[in-house]
Amino acid sequence: RYFWDTEMYLLPFFLYTAPEKARDLLLYRHFTLDGARHKARAYGYEGAMVPWVTIDGEERSGDFEYGMLEQHTGTAVAHAIREYVEATGDDDFLWEYGAELLIEIARFWASRVAWSPRRRQYVINFVTGPDEYAVAVNNNCYTNYTAKCALEYAAAAAQRMEVGQPARWQSLTARLALRPAEPARWREVAAGLYI
């Protein structure tokens, strides 16, 4: 079984001892992306809601408070992509696989946040963070902060790909029906997210 811990705790070990294995772990997340998309749609969100625990891309946790509310898994995947690309310089991975994952993870978070008129910021309510004893909380600091980082990195990777790999970018955005305003929206949400 695949848990969020894979990207956050196991991938760094492989990244500096057997980087090809780290790449394989990330390729698995790309291979199972359709399951994450299905999960997002099932809960009324856009993009990809990466499962908390999976075997085949579908959520395999039988516990609602974990399978539905531990939504930070995608942020761990985005973090791992960033770490992998920065450590290895494997930009081809980013263009071929990572960018699609990042776009779908950013789409999820952009659709998941809510605007709080009281705070005058975006909030993420009703989640369980990696502290599994605090179930269904509002604005879990870990979740909000890592969602902010995922949104920022997705926007930066999109800009980098659009400028440096325009043909690949055009092909990817056409395939994903990415609206031109979406990366700016990710930046806006990240800048306004309550921490």
Active centre residues (catalytic): 132
Residue 52 to residue 114: CA distance in whole angstroms:
22
CA torsion through residues 38, 20, 97, 88, sign? positive
Residue 109 to residue 49: CA distance in whole angstroms:
9
If DSSP codes are grouped into helix, strand and coil, which group holds residue 129? coil
The two tokens of residue 186 are 């990710």
69, burial (CB in 10 Å: exposed 0-12, middle 13-18, buried 19+): buried
What is the helix (H) or strand (E) element at residue 174, kind and residue range? helix 166-176
Residue 101 to residue 94: CA distance in whole angstroms:
9
Q: What is the DSSP letter of 122?
A: E
If DSSP codes are grouped into helix, strand and coil, which group holds residue 98? helix
Cβ-contact 93, 165 below 8 angstroms: no
